[in-house]
Structure 1
Amino acid sequence: MAVKSDVRASGKGQVRARNAEQLTRADRAALGKDARASAPLESHAEFTPDGSRDPVGLLLEQAKSRVPELVPVRHGRMLVSPFTFFRGAALPMAADLAGTPTSGLRVQLCGDAHLSNFGAFASPERRLVFDVNDFDETLPGPFEWDVKRLAASLAVAGRDNQFSRKDCRAIVLSAVEAYRTAMRAFAEQHFLDVWYAHVDVTATLSEVKSQLTKKGAKRTEKMVAKAHTRDSMQALSKLTTLVDGQRRIISNPPLIEPIEEIFADVQAGKVNEMVRSVLDTYRRTLQSDRKHLLEYFTLVQVARKVVGVGSVGTRAWIALMGAEDGTEPLFMQAKEAQPSVLAAFCGHSQYNNQGERVVVGQRLMQAESDILLGWTHVVDPNGIDRDFYVRQLKDWKFSVPIETMIPSGLKVYAHMCGWTLARAHARSGDRIALAAYLGGSNKFDHAIADFAETYADQNERDYAAFQADVKDGRVEATTEI
């Protein structure tokens, strides 16, 4: 039995490889191998639920900081399936992971590395790249926590798709093997090469076509082609309409609500002043060339938008901006950043602004980030302080519809996710120590696969408890939206 250790950082801050780089390669490899003493590779299969755990209670506690009228929408989306429940249950899983064996090898964690939080988007060079694309929960912590959440999500998704247990395990093993072998490859590379590494979707698709059915390959090609149309022009036609010759965001409560409708009891001037202040403080976090770019656009309208599953209830705003004669739109999204679900278990961020925490973590983990990614702080019309991070709403962004995938396709996708997660971790953690810890055998792979199966069982029990609590009235859920 491995010792379960306290994973909180003794000092705050982002994970840095700088100190590790001052050691010899042999010393760093020794650190990785020494970590097996406290957490043997086989120990990562372990998961024993705490008798006092109350995942639904954690979700209800989390809901207290969210928009009250949107919380039932979040619960309704989590009710759809065990997988959608898993997507929204990052906090309960973080609490569970805190009781598992810990390697002590820290990286910048995504914090919510389930398979739907990977996807494609446009690079600054206008290439379609694949990467982790959600960083609301990012924080330094034990590398295996991200691996376990990814692995468990694959097991849960496979079950939702009614795959066999054998197929589900093969899919999980594909992800973990890709993570382990990629980390060992990164350990042999120069750090700059690791930093530049990325997944080019078009090139990767041509490489994996032979592993997909003809139908699966054609479907993937169509999704890639469609991704190139997902930009501000497409959002303009979908989210706005012409009113007296001007573009206005279409109201569709509670999913999309213009700001003037939400703060109808507040003077319009006060709301506009708040919005201008938000944009001004956000601009200061951008590079000078990006500030210059943004100066070409003027604000047209702002609306609140419901996004995702686990994020529902956090405040997310979309801003329609325009340049020239209004034919050149830019849609921005400002999403509220609350403390990470990992904070209680890994230590609080060094950044007072949670939006800055998200942006710094994203830039550290992603190969290429949105050129307009930044953060800001807001005092809302009710006098409450809130932190936000800001990015483009749509820039060729898409995620694979997991529910339509067959086992061979999900296995390929899992491999991409595993490689990508390793690359993200190698940028912030000690890749040489991590590679030495993981080793050349498949012990770690099978231990994580065992954990994923056990946790998928637990997720099903938690989902059933959640359903029962909705039925009994403990949890309020809206399923019509």
Structure 2
Amino acid sequence: MSKKKLPDPALRGERLVQRRNLKMAKSVHAYVRGNTVQFYEWLEGSDRVLPHGPPVWICGDCHVSNIGPLADADGNINVQIRDLDQSVIGNPAHDLIRLGLSLAMAARGSDLPGVVTTKIMEQLIVGYELALRGRSGSSRTMQKRPETIQPVVKRAMRRKWKNLAAERIDGTDPDIPLSKKFWPISAAERNELEALMSSQDVHALATSLSHRDAKDKVEMLDAAYWVKGCSSLGLLRYAVLLRVGESKDPESSLCLIDVKEAVRSAAPRATNTAIPKNNALRIIEGAIHLAPNLGERMLAGLIQRKSVFLRELLPQDLKIDIEHLDQDQAMEVATYLGNVVGQAHARQMAADDRKRWLQELNRNRPKTIDTPSWLWRSVVELVQAHEGAYLEHCRRFANLPH
């Protein structure tokens, strides 16, 4: 897309909706990732009785790509849930079903036979239940990281600013070049972003990393509308480049802030629970409980009178992309990801709650597979519903210009 064809800020809405529809048509797995609303519409309309686990903060959109390595402010790296836009205090069973659906779609995308999907669901539960079998965070509750995922974590440990810049903004210069990923913003948007970036809260966020000084000057260098993600296309989304301190070394001085509109979660929340009414604060609170590495470097704000949340993107932040897996890899990944989600849930539960939830998960196991019947049947129904809806989506948008 040439710069001449980049949309005017006032006219970008239609182009973004078109981009979202095309992105969701690329594969059924992409369709599932971008259509959280359909998942919860099915959940609400289904007559299936699900177990009610202890009300805890859940991801709400727990698919494979929303889990990955995250760095904390001191540079320590852990694999955690990395997208909390849909987070609420809710039923942990919803995260299990959503992750099960994502893994089943990944298996179909890898041309694995259906019998492997049954094994994947079994291993998902094995990893999840392991996290409940003892004191939260103890080594005996943690699943060993599989070889399939280990390279992603090692790559995260090696990454520097130049890797982030090359991947996110097409260069290491202190600006954001306009492109198909970055569109121009209006003067009003720039003024609001400059005001937000000059706040004391953003200064504290930008200087919070261990190699920065709280007295460092923070300056906004550039900003652009960020055409990113799938479910977020059509919402406010900005990339903002900051300089922190006087150093000319980009590794220590440049800072990329992701500013994203926060909207109401589609995930049902538990009754009689205290959740922030402000959607940005809700998302940050969810991150603090589910992904501490991320939650400690997030901030709420306002742009165009809309609630937004900010986070500094670090080179170590990566997502787990599963494009092709063999049978053994698929089962190892399912066990590990189930354990990551289980750890996020279990650290919020008292010992008695973990014990009761574990007992509930062990009820109603069919004789043919070692997976709770409610999880297996839910995933089967969701696969059927999403594959049909995906084909209809492709038919509707087949003639859109690419």
Of the two, which has the highest radius of gyration? 1
Partner in structure 2 of residue 43 of structure 1: none
CA distance in 2, matches of 1:307, 1:229: 24
Aligned AA (1:435): K
CA distance in 2, matches of 1:466, 1:349: 37
Alignment RMSD (CA, Å): 3.2
SS of residue matched to 2:175? strand
TM-score (norm 1): 0.69
Q: Which residue of 245, 258, 262 corresponds with 1:333?
A: 258
SS of residue matched to 1:368? helix
**2:18 matches 1:91:** no
Unaligned 5+ segments in structure 2 are 1-11, 366-370
Distance 1:316 1:326, change over 3 A: farther
Partner in structure 2 of residue 365 of structure 1: 290
CA contact (8 A) 2:204 2:214 kept: no
Q: Which runs of 4 or more aligned residues in structure 1 lie more than 4 Å from their structure 2 counterparts after TM superposition?
A: 195-200, 284-289, 343-349
Partner in structure 1 of residue 235 of structure 2: 314
Distance 1:92 1:347, change over 3 A: farther
CA distance in 1, matches of 2:238, 2:90: 30
Partner in structure 1 of residue 196 of structure 2: 278
TM-score (norm 2): 0.82
SS of residue matched to 2:372? helix
Shift of 1:97: 1.5
CA contact (8 A) 1:197 1:423 kept: no
Larger deviation: 279-288 or 324-333? Answer: 279-288
**2:369 matches 1:446:** no
Any idea what the Cα deviations from partners look like across 1:90-133, whole Å, max 9, x if unmatched?
11111211234243432211110011111112233423311111
Quick one: percent identity of the two aligned structures? 17
CA distance in 2, matches of 1:198, 1:262: 50
Shift of 1:262: 2.6
CA contact (8 A) 2:205 2:298 kept: no
Unaligned 5+ segments in structure 1 are 1-65, 210-215, 380-384
Any idea what the Cα deviations from partners look like across 1:370-406, whole Å, max 9, x if unmatched?
5431111122xxxxx2111111223312223211322
SS of residue matched to 1:433? helix
CA distance in 1, matches of 2:283, 2:355: 27
Shift of 1:88: 0.9
CA contact (8 A) 2:128 2:341 kept: yes
CA contact (8 A) 2:198 2:218 kept: no
CA distance in 2, matches of 1:109, 1:375: 20
**2:102 matches 1:153:** yes
CA distance in 2, matches of 1:178, 1:459: 26
Shift of 1:251: 0.8
**2:153 matches 1:224:** yes
Q: Which residue of 234, 239, 250 corresponds with 2:177?
A: 250
**2:392 matches 1:465:** yes
Q: How many residues align?
A: 373
CA contact (8 A) 1:195 1:367 kept: no
Partner in structure 1 of residue 368 of structure 2: none
SS of residue matched to 1:403? coil
Partner in structure 2 of residue 235 of structure 1: 164
Partner in structure 2 of residue 389 of structure 1: 309
Which structure is higher in helix share? 1
Partner in structure 1 of residue 3 of structure 2: none
Shift of 1:221: 5.1
CA contact (8 A) 1:256 1:303 kept: yes
